[in-house]
Amino acid sequence: MALFTIQNEFRYEIVRKIFEGGMGIVYEAEQHGARDFVKRVAIKIIRPSFAAQKVFIENFVGEAKLVADLIHTNIVQTYQLGETNGAAFIAMELIRGVNLEQFTHQLTEKKRTLPKELAVFITSRVARGLAYAHSKTDKNGKPMGIVHRDVSFKNIMIAFEGDVKLTDFGIAKAKGFLTDQEGEVVAGKPDYMSPEQADFQITDKRSDLFSVGVVLAHLLLGRNIFKGATAEESRQRILNQPIPDFRALDSRIDDRLNDILHHCLVHDANRRYATADLLMHDLELYIYGAGYGPTNETLGKYIREIFGQEAPKALPEDAQFKTIVLEETARVKEPKL
């Protein structure tokens, strides 16, 4: 096989700040290439205060490597891991839309109730993404053992076209990719985590399915039944609060949907859905069993009615990362003729 070298210069120009978390910031940016090529992407940058922490950097790099080969319509795609001026960053697929937290806040502001079928549809797409991630194997065909561990409203995006995307595998666990302290620290958002997460236990893919159940219940009820005044109160509710009869909380919830919720939210993981495929099957059977059901286009039309196809107002941009210039050499194998 002959090798040849391609010299590329990538320049990213920050357009606006999309989201700011405790450890990182996500920007919308333009990637500029040869011959006036321009592509809109999302740039995730770690905060300088965390840049010197070895474990954090290892996990940030591990996240990028982990999701590099997760190519699925319901998972945000990663394009590049880079570093400039001492700051590591990940270039990702840009989703023109909102996360579920922003979505439900707008519903509340406009006094709208999310249709039951759309709540189930959104959740089924999350289950599809997880089914793919959970079954992912490495280049040798060995299971990677991916568990997202942070399936929550902030990490589920809806594009204005109606695509549902799971994002942020920053605390996911997978063999050989991330430094993990599971069993010693609690990972995830307290009001969405599984009982085994909340109890400092080792998790598997069934933990994510509990979180999907919390997402579905939250979408249907308009509130998270596990959310307390503090993180510790939320954790205790996850551990000790009995799972209610959802039919008594919302008249739209029938026996079948109540059973799906209980099958997700049962505390004993051995009684929970064993795989995301099984959960996805039940959710899709529920909305499509009688014939035609919601689609990406249905959800897209609904969300555009709510937002007018404009994302919430962005926060002021950070001039520190106004322009990022990278020079990268890529080695490409060319078949020998």
Task: Tell me which residues are annotated as active site.
Answer: 150
Place of tokens 């700040």: 17
- DSSP H helices, 8-115, are 54-67, 100-109
Alpha carbons 228 and 222: distance in angstroms, whole number? 15
Rounded CA-CA distance 279/277 in Å is 5
Phi-psi sector, 9: left (phi>0), alpha (psi -120 to 50), beta: beta
CB 257 within 8 A of CB 115: no
Q: Are 193 and 132 in contact (CB under 8 A)?
A: no
Could you give phi then psi for residue 92, rounded to 5 degrees?
Answer: -130, 170
Strands (DSSP E) along 184-232, which ranges? none
Distance CA 102, CA 261 (A): 23
For tokens 């962005």, the residue is: 314
Q: What is the CA radius of gyration of the chain?
A: 21
Amino acid at 131: A
